[in-house]
Structure 1
Amino acid sequence: MKGKVLSLGAAALLAGGAFLLSGQTNSANAQDLLGVSFIDNVKPYLEFRPRYEYVDVDKSGNKEANALTIRTKVGVKIGTVLGVQGLSAVLEAIDVSALVDDYAPQKAGYETVLDPDNTRLTQAYIAYSLGNYAFIAGRKYVAIDDHRFIGTVGWRQMPQSFGVLAIAGKPIQGLDFLLAGIYERKGITDTPEDWSRGKVLNADWQLDKMPIILDVNYKVIPQLRIKGFAYLLTDIHNTYGIKASGKVDLGGIKVSYLGEYAKQTDPYENDNRDEKPDVDTDYYRLKVGASAMGFFANVMYTYFGDGDVNKKEPGFSTPLATLHKFDGWSDQLLAGAAGGFDYGMKEWCISAGYKNPTIGKLMIAYLTFDSDKDPGTIGKSIGSEIDALYAKKLTKRLSFLAKAAWYDADNGYYTGGNLKGDKDVTKYWLQLDYKY
């Protein structure tokens, strides 16, 4: 507890001390002596996010999980550093504390909730803007597109962040790009799950063997945006893909669409593995949605290619994605999406809801999962799931969320030779989120 108090006190100084550092004091300071302020245009921010999570896994042998956790985020955005126009910085710390800790990894014998006690410097980076370009160095959140391949995992109390050296820009009208090298990964826990079947995600990447991110977007017309990408992950795989998306207004009914294809091959660089992985698989996703007068509905089909079980080659995988956002909120497909489905996976997701500032947002989704190839020892049907959500902004700064997931297992699926998703799962969440 003493360590928690000290860490929270340091976080409070991070925000409160920003006012002093910006020169808002009557005593002599660095600005008086040097004629320049170290930092200026300082904007502190704060978030408190308490959440209750319940997990029940049928016939698992573990007790039901009851987790009441709170996320305390303290940060500061510094608009000007050393008086240099265009040079800015961000510092942020997060503390996750368990108020009710009847869950693993806090206690053995309970179901898992991946929100253990933790305190971390989540963001610490500098950025330099010059015209239509920005240069970034340091630890920060990286959220690309809709988080399908690389995201922040912001649903968990401790988000995912990366150490990056990056350049982003808009060289011409309608075109923007991101080119980044990753030299560090901080997952949602200090000992993240080893989704990659090696120990590469638990270690920092080398500066000379860092994963490379290239993301290019071009707005062809207001109704069409094309994206090309290459995510070259050391020790894991290279992913190359293309995506087309857009929205069309049909007389009051707004129709959205998305089509995405990606191919995975051997990684361009091998660092922490004894042998270079042999990867040859693909993925695609199709989605159509419509909205009118507050009502909305979506249909999405997702395909994950299989691997070669005999050669222990993994299927298509997205280990750096915000996985909770996809493939069901119960997270029963998470291990396969992150590490690869041995026999592939085909998913249908149908969702519908209503959104109104007065009432809030209500949504329900139905998902089905099947293996692409026949596993032989079990059937192709993995299972199905129903997800439900209600969200409401209570005040300008305070919001409420209630969410539930019911996973109905059938045969489950194999990933890395291990059977997953073969047990029924029920999860509930209640959350408040205050931001200042």
Structure 2
Amino acid sequence: MKKVSFLLSASALSAIAVPALAQDVVFKPVVEARLRYETVDQAGPAPLTSSRDANAVTMRLRAGGEISKGPFAFLAEGEGTLAIDEDYNSGVNGKTLYPIVADPENVELNRLQLQYRTKPLIVTVGRQRINLDDQRFVGSVAWRQNEQTFDAVRVEYMGVKNLKVDVTYAISARTIWGIDGGKFGSANRPTQIDGDDVFANVSYKTKLGTLTGFAYLVDEDEAVVALRRNSSQTYGARFVGALPFTKKVKLSYLASYARQSDYATNPVHYSADYVAAELGLDVAAFKLTGGYELLGSDAGATGIAGGFAFQTPFATLHKFNGWADKFLATPGTGIQDYYAGIGYTVPKIGKAGPLVASFTFHHFSSDRLSIHYGDEYNAQVTMKLNKHLSALIKYADYERKGIASFTGDADTKKFWAQIDYAL
């Protein structure tokens, strides 16, 4: 907590000095709002069976502003989430008869940061949003109403052509569980996770795509054993690019590999692999996507019956392995995700647009023991209504196969409808 207070105090004191440096200070307001309805129908063998469907109507508001002058900028932003209809288990409200909708009521300081930015260098100090690459390892979890932010120092250097070096040292992650984190027996869902975390990326752009090497050192300094098991060291690389054939036809590709093992306070000794590969084909308004992702498992992990698998605790997890969120924690036997999707874009509908519709199918199996966990169908339609408003409807249907293979493995259907506003 002392380290957190130091970072935030440094940001605040520095910001007070910024306006004094000159008279023509620029102020930019920050206002974002979201109204969402989410329903969850979950069924499975006891104790997974929920006696009631979850129905959540939540409203999220972020408000603040940025003061800037020359290369210096100070940003402060508050965030609040209101449960208009709280017939759901938020994860920290004790309503365990309902399925989880991870949007608890909350009021918090979301961001408080001082930034120095020039063309070759950006330095950010304080509570901040961090999204690295596709957010598979580090992200802000923007899908949830309460955002994940970090108390950190981040340095981004772009002084060499086509090269970017991005290094962060974080002392705390402010989780999506908000001010009630840890209550009602949810010790593994805290308000914040303290530690000494290092996120390092070095990327180089070529004509064929961007090659990135990364190292993520996660040291969760917490008393809860389930959190300390997330302490890990991950080293890997990814290559992402696109090849246009014509003005309306383009091939995109992604390949990534990483190796993860225990680190720092983790009581479990293990090592596991990560593999991802994806191809996409854009043909006029259509986009076809197919891919594979592996989060491997170590059968010989010490102290864990059934093995221990590759974990990504700071990722924007909802983006990966299906929108039903069945694999937020990788099962001990690992996971293989084979997926294929199709999307269609309508650039304009009157003065509105674009409208984007998509459908994706996932086939989930284990890394070890040849378990077919289940299949999932995802569908979504988004539309930009005007400069400030956008709308979304979304559906996920996970169908379990055979017996329940991990905690939470149950047939699950989810539906969302939401409106977003951004100033």
TM-score range, shorter chain: 0.7 to 0.9
Confirm or deny that 1:345 pairs with 2:335: yes
Partner Cα distance (1:153, 1:408) in 2:
25
Matches within 5 A, 1:239-258: 239-251=234-246, 252-258=248-254
Q: CA deviation at 1:396?
A: 1.2
Q: Per the alignment, in what secondary structure is the counterpart of residue 194 of structure 2? A: coil
Aligned to 1:328: 322
- Alignment-derived partner of residue 56 in structure 2: 67
The corresponding residue for 2:347 is 357
Report the 3-state secondary structure (helix = DSSP H, G, I; strand = E; otherwise coil) of the residue aligned with 2:418.
strand
Letter in 1 for 2:411: D
Specify which of 405, 409, 412 is matched with residue 425 of structure 1: 412
Calculate percent identity across the aligned residue pairs. Answer: 29
Q: Give the structure 2 partner of residue 166 of structure 1.
A: 154
- Matches of residues 257-296 of structure 1 in structure 2 within 5 Å? 257-267=253-263, 269-270=264-265, 275=267, 277-296=268-287
Give ranges in structure 2 of 5+ residues lacking alignment.
Answer: 1-14, 221-230, 350-354
Task: Measure, in 2, the Cα distance between the counterparts of 1:412 and 1:230.
Answer: 37
Considering only aligned residues, what root-mean-square deviation do their CA atoms show, in Å? 2.5
Matches within 5 A, 1:229-240: 229-235=214-220, 236-240=231-235
Rounded to whole Å, the distance in 1 between the matches of 2:309 and 2:140 is 23
TM-score (norm 1): 0.82
CA distance in 2, matches of 1:424, 1:116: 23
Q: How does 1:24-173 map to 2 (within 5 A)?
A: 36-37=22-23, 40-59=25-44, 60-80=49-69, 85-105=70-90, 106=93, 107-173=95-161
Corresponding residue to 1:212 among 179, 191, 198: 198
Answer with 1 or 2: which has the greater Rg. 1
CA distance in 2, matches of 1:229, 1:371: 26
Shift of 1:296: 0.5
The residue correspondences of 1:379-398 to structure 2 (distance < 5 A) are 380-398=371-389
The aligned length equals 379
Unaligned 5+ runs, structure 1: 1-20, 23-29
- Paired position in structure 1 for 2:10: none
Of 212, 227, 240, the match for 1:227: 212
| Alpha carbons of structure 1 residues 335 and 46: separation in structure 2 relative to 1, 3 Å | same
Seen in structure 2, the aligned counterparts of structure 1 residues 288 and 158 have a Cα distance that, compared at 3 Å, is: same
- Distance (whole Å) between structure 2 residues aligned to residue 192 and residue 289 of structure 1: 39
Q: Which residue of 2 aligns with 1:15?
A: none
Q: Is the 8 A contact 1:411 1:422 kept in 2?
A: no
Aligned-pair CA distance for 1:205: 2.7
Query: Residues 262 and 200 (structure 1 numbering): CA distance in 2 closer, same or farther, change over 3 Å?
Result: farther
Q: CA deviation at 1:422?
A: 2.9
Which residue is equivalent to 2:228? none
In structure 1, how many angstroms separate the alpha carbons of the residues matched to 2:357 and 2:37? 19
Letter in 2 for 1:428: F
SS in 2 for 1:324: helix
Deviation at 1:108, TM superposition (A): 4.2
